[in-house]
Structure 1
Amino acid sequence: KKFNIFCHFVVYTFSGYQQLFSVEIMDQTAKPLQIPPTFALYAEKHNLFDLYHDLISQLLIHKPADPLQFLIESLEKDNARVSTVMVLGPPASGKHTIGKMLAGRLRCPHLTMQNMIPEVDRKLRQKAEFYLAEKQPIPTELWTSIVKNRLSIQDCNRKGWVMSGFPQTRDQAVALQTAGVIPDHVIFLEAKPTVLAERAIGKRWDPETGDIYHLVFDQPTDDDVLERLVECPGNSDSEINERIREFEGRIIELAPCYSNVGLKVNADQPVADVFHHALEFVSSPRRSSAPRNPRAILIGPPGSGRDTQAALLAAKYGLVNLNCGQLIKQAISGETKAGGAMKNYVDRGMPVPDAILLKLLKERLCQLDCITRGWVLHGYPRTRGQAEQLADAGFQPNRVFFMELGNAQVLERLTNRMTDPVTGRRYQSIYDPPTDAQVKERLMQHPRDTEAEVNRRLSRYSTFREELRDFYASKSLALDVNCDQDVETVFETLESHIVTPLPKNFD
């Protein structure tokens, strides 16, 4: 039943878009298309693109005899949101410690080469124990079967997993990938050989559980465990140095297998700092090729640079630049029905009612370019009520930037702003004065840039700023941007958040 509903939705969605695009191509003179915003929001909320990608990938990897039943079982696992992490590093780098800490935070199993073998099927366990008894390396094919079997157990299926210290070679990594074991994140711990050799002295091993501890950095809290700890085999100076050299030779070929999902972390720092960097990386969503159209709102006081930054974002990322004030002017000059309703208010210097503004924005945001390219909106919303109405209408931004600038800086920027009535160019008497004396003489100040008018606008913004920020902060969308910097620096800050998905929250 789940799969049938899923397939019907896919067919309906894509056939609907196909029909809409066909109409647009056939009749460019028709009224602009009005596409419900819920299409894109639903697909983004439920990660449909990634779901399609994962299902098709699993089909091609496993090649099941009954693809339909395989897809149904894959959907029923309901494990799309779990985290899958590998922690790799040289001996004594702390990979087991960091892996155990991550697993505790993510509330999922921590897997090691030692603890996986006792938990797999009996036949696989016996084969592995045979090689261990003979002191022979376990073949790659057997390791792949062991890992796949362990990951198929319910705890990994439902909660995800963190695997420390495996794979160790490129062949093992390729075999896992071929079998469909592909982690979302891989952490590579690094440290100098001298640091690793010093750390190895304190490493201890629990022969009952196979867990690794350290007498300085990671002591067990249980006294019984502490008493049965033994020195890790192969930890003499010569042995540890040889193992480090072997790892350095293998990692050169192994690391490229996970280049798209890997992060190097310096392990020569306090454990808490290493864990912080690792958790921050794991908290970031896995890389996706899904089309994610930015829907950004810029909110800030007058003079904070909203128009400038919106234009830069639109130019670089092809977003639709929506200035609420410009939309009102266009509607009035175009003598539209909405423009006629707004003209009386604008002529009298009165605010346009929220209901009329929302209708104007809905018509624009539902057009094809906004749906397919994304948008950056500024000049709206100005109050919490407007923000709530926009959300209720189905227009959910995925970033809301609060452009922070002090009142003194706002006054300095705006009251010193002048315009050349001949060329229309805008100057700033302090930071960008005209070099031509004639131009300087004919400069004029816009009535909106007088000190009294700027203070009035600042007061109006301050009245609603906190309630607006609280509204978007409650949805984890609010981001503060210091605008008392040069234009390029502010743009880089906005850009870094525009292109990066929101991190996961494991609390």
Structure 2
Amino acid sequence: MDATSRPLSMPPQMGLYAEKHRLYQLMQGILEGLLIHKPDQPLDFLIKQLTLDNEDVPRILILGPPASGKTTIAMWLCKQLVTPRISQETLLATEWSSVAVEAQEYQDRQQKIPDVLLAELIDERLKVKDCLHNGWVMEGIPETREFAWTLQGMGIIPRHVVVLYAPDTVLIERNLGKRVDVVTGEVYHTTFDWPSNTTVQKNLVAPKDISEKETARRLLEYHQNYPGILQSFRKPMKLVNADQPCADVFMQVLTHVQFPPRTPAPFSPRILLCGPPGSGKSLQAALLAQKYGIINVCCGQLLKEAVAGGTKLGELIKPYFDSGWPAADNIVVKLLSERLNCLDCHLRGWVLHGFPRDEDQAKMMKQVEINPNRVFFLTLTTETILERLACRMVDPVTGERYHKLYKPAATRETHDRLLIHPRDIEESVKLKADTYFRISGTLETFFEDAIFINADQDPQTVFEYIESYVVNPLPNKH
């Protein structure tokens, strides 16, 4: 910070650094830990938290009524994310701690394990190395609001909560056919998911307490406790309909947990729109700028303004304009760097379109620290491009634009005087489209995290797709 001037101002680079290294999220996690645990030695606690480096590991709760598929989804998630599964069964599977032994004694006496003891057991398990470094998927816990509060008070706070649901009649029918592999613990069903392997079939047994009467009792208990659980995990909760094929349920759950939860950390969008001519980049940039107040940076317009303003870079660009050749890449990148490093772009964010057009230009942008945090490719076929651009006409008298298909002239007189701009002649449009498709492949590869959106649909629909990726965090790559 500049301590010599008032008011104190933060250099724009500090915000970019903080965003890149996720300093806001890191500070939020540290403060939460301090307030929850209240350690006697805060500095030692902070050092330990920083050395863990586990802010992004999965911390997932899978909840739902009996027979909703919690175990299956939790197992599949653990295989996909390479994380340990935490459930009452896995906690009591071995005598791995004195607390587990004490809890098992309650289980042997067919008594309910006290919440305090179970919470202590969970806390001890989550402090084991595999959970600290790989995260965890907790299945069927907590079952009551009071137990949820107990876990939260101990600092056990999930990043994602998934609640499965289905009609009670479906759950009762599903539960009657449930079978468990005594060797692997995998769950199967006599109707919906019967294994083809005869060895696995021999290992299947019916679990205890799956009668219709017992299932109905457990469902009633679940419905009584569900409202309290809903209040405990309102923000990170995702409801998923379990009355569909298990693979579909799993994909919905996986998609949800791969997206980090939204954070109150400051965020300045730096959006890059790429796509062939006629894909609607200018329109989408204008919509984003209008709704969110970010700076609309059109590369072509920026070049024209530099020439019209008589700037030093404008004087270098003017000969290219006069000759009809595109401006040199190094000059364009320098002009873009100056504009995107202005204070308004750092504070409000920006949306850039019209550059880069190939991988070499993208590499030059990276060299001068122009790093977009959202990259969109608006995809369109050559036929649609020709339909959009080669049918455009303009009225030389009024300056109004028309289109042969979407906006024809209202009168014969107007139609007869319409002209086609040379750049909209079919041969010219096809040449530009072919050029784009020839060089866009390497550009798409360069931006590994790019998002592809079909631009051959209503512009508002395209905008909503872009908007959803701008306002929400990008998915984690597990």
TM norm structure 2 = 0.90
Q: Distance in 1 between matches of 2:6 and 2:408?
A: 49
Q: 2:171 aligns with which of 191, 196, 200?
A: 196
Please tell me whether residue 485 in structure 1 is matched to residue 457 in structure 2: yes
Q: Shift of residue 365 of structure 1?
A: 0.9
Asked if 1:499 is matched to 2:474, the reply is: no
Q: Aligned in 2, Cα 1:434/1:450: closer, same or farther, shift over 3 Å?
A: same
Matched, 1:257 2:232: yes
Change in 2 beyond 3 A, CA 1:86/1:297: same
Q: Which residue of 1 aligns with 2:209?
A: 234
Deviation at 1:293, TM superposition (A): 2.4
Report SS of the residue matched to 1:501.
coil
Structure 2 gap segments, 5+ residues each? none
What SS is found at the alignment partner of 2:244? Answer: coil
Counterpart secondary structure, 2:235: coil
Q: In percent, how many aligned pairs have the same letter?
A: 42
| Structure 1 segment 110-259 matched on structure 2, within 5 A | 110-117=85-92, 122-204=97-179, 211=185, 213-214=187-188, 216=190, 217=193, 227=203, 231-259=206-234
Q: Is the 8 A contact 2:375 2:449 kept in 1?
A: no
Question: Over the residues paired in the alignment, what is the CA RMSD in angstroms?
Answer: 2.9
Q: Tell me whether 1:344 sits opposite 2:347 in the alignment.
A: no
Task: Structure 1: state its 5+ residue gaps.
Answer: 1-14, 25-32
- CA 1:215–1:312 in structure 2 vs 1: closer, same or farther (change >3 Å)? closer
23, 43, 61: which one aligns with 1:48: 23
Residues 21 and 230 of structure 1: is their aligned pair in 2 closer, same or farther, counting only changes over 3 Å?
Answer: farther
* Aligned amino acid, residue 344 of structure 1: P
- Tell me which of 246, 266, 269 is aligned to 1:291: 266
Q: Give the drift of 1:441.
A: 5.8
Q: What is the DSSP-based 3-state SS (H/G/I as helix, E as strand, rest coil) of the residue aligned with 1:397?
A: coil
Counterpart amino acid of 1:503?
P
Q: Secondary structure at the match of 1:322?
A: strand
Aligned length: 476
Q: In the alignment, residue 45 of structure 2 is paired with which amino acid?
A: F
Deviation at 1:427, TM superposition (A): 2.5
1:110 is displaced (CA, Å) by 0.7
Rounded Cα–Cα distance in structure 1 between residues aligned with 2:136 and 2:220: 29
Task: Say which of 420, 425, 433 aligns to 1:458.
Answer: 433
Deviations 1:177-199 (A, max 9, x none): 12211111111111222222222
Following superposition, the deviation at residue 310 of structure 1 comes to 0.9
Q: Secondary structure at the match of 1:476?
A: coil
Q: CA deviation at 1:290?
A: 2.1
Q: Structure 1 residue 225: deviation in Å?
A: 11
Q: 1:3-14 alignment to 2 at 5 Å?
A: none
- In the other structure, the counterpart of 1:12 is none
Contact in 1 for aligned 2:262/2:473 (Cα 8 Å): no
Alpha carbons of 1:119 and 1:360: their partners in 2 closer, same or farther (altered >3 Å)? farther
2:320 touches 2:326 (CA, 8 Å); kept in 1? yes
Find the aligned partners of 1:288 and 1:80 in 2 and give their Cα distance: 13
Report the residue type matching 1:497 in the other structure: Y
Provide the residue aligned with 1:29 in structure 2: none
Structure 2 residue aligned with 1:430: 405
Q: Does 1:82 align with 2:57?
A: yes
TM-score when normalising by structure 1: 0.85
CA contact 1:119–1:150 (8 Å) conserved in 2: no
Report the 3-state secondary structure (helix = DSSP H, G, I; strand = E; otherwise coil) of the residue aligned with 2:326.
Answer: coil
Report the AA paired with residue 315 of structure 1: Q
Change (3 A) 1:262 1:20: farther
User: Is 2:35 aligned against 1:69?
Assistant: no
